[in-house]
Chain A
């Protein structure tokens, strides 16, 4: 049972909608329309998360450090080798040398303990150093196969925090058309929101274009990942920690979101990280 301290220090915050209740503040669920609010620069304790501006929900939630935490969480979600170490591959009973690999190469392959992330890092390193992989070109996000190695965009393609990629040209994931684009939308940089560059009369691309498309080298692994949503898209949705509904209430102490005062009570009792104030 968590220790219960006295009611935390209550601050009257100059926010548009405030209820007279201790310990939480209503925040507007981010909408596409940005409402102008007063600049809130109250620097007192406890306002670290409360008053960075209603219009900057995105910035607050996606600070680099928090994004890193989120990325770690996502990587955990996408991993399935957490307990794979306890699984030992059964060896064959005959114990012949054939079990270990017929050639030196295969023996090396069979005993390698590398994970996919190692291969990916190796490939990125090779591409960054030489601009080619296996002697052949590859496509990056920008579509350019760098003529010069050590081009920073190619090297850092995977290291750039994804947050920053929002600013970059991303909506078409690159324009890897080596030949002059025919029939390419003039608004190639236009965001995917309304795909109205289509009409039934767009010309079918020429054979040269088709050949160029077919012969294009494969993308680098990170370049083929789906790009972040454009900045004009609605901000990310936040959910209640306890029950999963919309997260409309924010705990003043730790910034976690819950849906209502009920859930907030549970959160403060069991899950709030700042119970020592």
Chain B
């Protein structure tokens, strides 16, 4: 597509539309915003959630790129390729294919996400502590390959500071960040704790726990595969099982006792309110797996599988329901040498001056897909509360939509021309000053 404009574009002026890409490992949250909008309210409706993967099914030899996955009917043995690893885009071949399909190809017009890169600003998110090579690549791809008219690479957590306050403080002015915010992002690859001061990251206090939604899904896959049913190739199915039945226990020891069958001399009665029968989908008769309360007599029904009744693959899930999410709070359960989420938060605080601790602990925000596990925020609050002295005020908010919250912040930021000018580097500025200058500006090193 010819992109040469006949006249030189005006010097350092912002493009009228901004594409905000919260480029996560599991999903991309994408949508447009414009500083020319009269209406500066954030609108989560403008945010599209796009699976950030290319998947291939060996069974019907079909490949699904990004949102094509929604049209998939047979998720069996679906192999996934994720361009984003640990929060950073490392596989640009697939990421480019996904972006092109979603934003630049003609087919994207029907979905409302089409844009002409030269006339659009791009706000792209990354994780903190990114290796320089990864940042360099992202910058080059955005400007040289796709040719965006303006570009900003920000740490993803920053979006949360600009979103509507989840503490019920009402809507602030667009583009004005919250003063103090401790963002806990329970994401796909890992869980990060990021303190933000006036919307800027306090780098020295960022901490990361290498347990995320991916870890939990793989752990669940392992447990079910070794105990009952081979699921090693079924990423999608295991993910759905996790979302359907897993929850965070408020009292792990008690719950574990409740579902123990007992020892030889010490028979126990299993509490069947926790145990669940999960019917696995076979994508022919049963399109979607579902859970139902455990039926103890199903031991008899199992023998009838295939006889008389329609076949169903049944998995009995008991302590896996809460022992898998427990990894977030006790990673040592699988031998990982890290403190749990609460310990990680305290480590982050310890890296800050004491005078700031109260300010941050009164403004804790939980976002991220994994935080949607039932009981997550309650458990976090309870554990954190017990580690703090009583005169500290602890206020934890769970974003209403934990997945799109950061994106809505980016949208509000892009509504404000001044704020936008501060972070966006236009194509002309880049060509004049070079990539090193741009990287330093994104770090906040150069003025302006």
A residues neighboring B (CB under 8 Å): 67, 70-71, 73-74, 76-81, 83-84, 86-90, 92, 98, 101-103, 105-106, 109-112, 114-116, 119-120, 122-123, 126, 133-136, 139, 143, 162-163, 165-166, 171-177, 181-185, 188, 192-200, 202-205, 209-210, 213-221, 223-229, 233, 236-237, 239, 242-246, 259-262
Do A260 and B262 form a contact, CB below 8 Å, given A78-B215, A83-B233, A224-B207? yes
| Chain A proximity mask over B243-262: 1 for CB below 8 Å, otherwise 0 | 00000000000001000111
**CB <8 Å contact, B444 and A215:** yes
**CB <8 Å contact, B260 and A259:** yes
New A-B contacts (5) at CB < 8 Å, excluding given A135-B436, A184-B354, A205-B356:
A84-B81, A87-B94, A192-B339, A194-B387, A261-B263
| A193 to B335 CA separation, bound complex (whole angstroms) | 20
B357 at the interface (CB under 8 A from A): yes
**CB <8 Å contact, B264 and A195:** no
Which residue of the partner chain, among A171, A224, A229, A262, contacts B263 with CB atoms under 8 Å? Answer: A262
| Chain A proximity mask over B205-228: 1 for CB below 8 Å, otherwise 0 | 111111010110011001100010
| A139 to B264 CA separation, bound complex (whole angstroms) | 55
| Residues of A with C-beta under 8 A to B391 | 198-200
**4 closest cross-chain pairs (CB), A and B:** A260-B263, A70-B335, A172-B350, A162-B337
Secondary structure dominating the interface of A: loop
| A106 to B55 CA separation, bound complex (whole angstroms) | 24
| Residues of A with C-beta under 8 A to B130 | 218, 221
Q: Which of A195, A215, A261 has the most CB of B within 10 A?
A: A195
B54 (CB) vs chain A CBs: closest residue: A87
| Residues of A with C-beta under 8 A to B337 | 67, 162-163, 165-166, 228-229
| A87 to B82 CA separation, bound complex (whole angstroms) | 10
Min CB–CB distance A73 → chain B (angstroms) = 7
Min CB–CB distance B140 → chain A (angstroms) = 5
Min CB–CB distance B25 → chain A (angstroms) = 8
**CB <8 Å contact, A134 and B439:** yes
**CB <8 Å contact, A177 and B343:** no
A76 (CB) vs chain B CBs: closest residue: B218
**CB <8 Å contact, A183 and B355:** yes
| A185 to B227 CA separation, bound complex (whole angstroms) | 48
Q: Which of A80, A88, A188 has the most CB of B within 10 A?
A: A80
**CB <8 Å contact, A219 and B144:** no
Min CB–CB distance B392 → chain A (angstroms) = 5
| A261 to B261 CA separation, bound complex (whole angstroms) | 12
Which residue of the partner chain, among B131, B264, B266, B338, contacts A228 with CB atoms under 8 Å? Answer: B338
B96 at the interface (CB under 8 A from A): yes
| A123 to B388 CA separation, bound complex (whole angstroms) | 37
**CB <8 Å contact, A219 and B203:** yes
Which residue of the partner chain, among B88, B96, B336, contacts A74 with CB atoms under 8 Å? Answer: B336
Which residue of the partner chain, among A192, A244, A259, A262, contacts B323 with CB atoms under 8 Å? Answer: A244
**CB <8 Å contact, B222 and A77:** yes
**CB <8 Å contact, A133 and B132:** yes
Please choose the segment from B159-167, B326-334, B418-426 that sits at the chain A interface, where 4 or more of its residues have CB less than 8 A away. Answer: B326-334
| A61 to B56 CA separation, bound complex (whole angstroms) | 40
| A215 to B444 CA separation, bound complex (whole angstroms) | 8
Min CB–CB distance B90 → chain A (angstroms) = 5
B346 at the interface (CB under 8 A from A): yes
| Residues of A with C-beta under 8 A to B144 | 102-103, 105-106
| A105 to B143 CA separation, bound complex (whole angstroms) | 12
Min CB–CB distance B350 → chain A (angstroms) = 4
| Residues of B with C-beta under 8 A to A90 | 54, 63, 65, 97
| A185 to B354 CA separation, bound complex (whole angstroms) | 6
B339 (CB) vs chain A CBs: closest residue: A229
Q: Which of A74, A203, A215 has the most CB of B within 10 A?
A: A74
Do A87 and B63 form a contact, CB below 8 Å, given A136-B440, A236-B335? yes
**CB <8 Å contact, B219 and A77:** yes
